[in-house]
């Protein structure tokens, strides 16, 4: 299970890294980035899904 952010879609709305700060962080422009390679635990998957359902730009993708 892996999560990723499409950098072309992300506009730096900032929801992902405030909801799931262990999975997402931000770059120096404030855009969301996935920490490490985005591999998810079961608990991580739940949080990643919550972040995904709060992203206004639909920029988060999860491979299950």
Partner 1 sequence: MVRATSHFAYSPNDAEIRQVTQGGQLTDREPVRDFAIDWDHTDPQWVADPYPIWDDLRERCPIAHTDRYGSGWFPTTHDAVSAIANDTEHFTSRMVVVTKNRFPPGAPPAPMGGAPPITSDPPFHAVARRLLLPAFAPEPVNALEPQIRALCQKHLDALVGRDTIDAGHEYAQFIPPGVIARMLGFPPEDEDQFRDFVHVVLDLVDLEPEIRGPLFWPINAYFSAQIEDHLRNPRDDLTTFLLNVEVDGKKLAPEHVRGSMVLILVAGIDTTWSAIGSSIWHLATHREDLERLVDEPELMEVAVEEFLRFYAPVTMARLVKDDYEFRGCPMKKDDWILLGFPAANRDPAVFAKADEFIIDREVNRHAAFGLGIHRCVGSNLARLELRVALEEFLKRYQKFELDPSSDVTWAPGQVRGPRAIPLRVG
Applying CB under 8 A, the residues found at the interface with partner 1 are 11-15, 17-18, 26-30, 50, 53-57
Residue number, 4 or 54, with CB nearest to partner 1: 54
Q: Min. distance of Cβ 14 from partner 1 in angstroms? A: 6
Residue number, 29 or 36, with CB nearest to partner 1: 29
Residues in the chain: 64
| CA angle (19 as vertex; 14, 20 as ends), nearest 5 | 105
Residue number, 9 or 39, with CB nearest to partner 1: 9
Residues 6+ apart with CB under 8 A from 50: 19, 20
């Amino acid at each position: 299970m892996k999560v990723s952010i499409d950098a072309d879609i992300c506009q730096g709305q900032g929801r992902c890294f405030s909801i799931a700060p262990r999975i997402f962080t931000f770059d120096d422009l404030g855009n969301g980035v996935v920490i490490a390679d985005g591999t998810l635990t079961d608990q991580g998957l739940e949080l990643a899904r919550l972040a995904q359902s709060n992203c206004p730009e639909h920029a988060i993708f999860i491979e299950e």
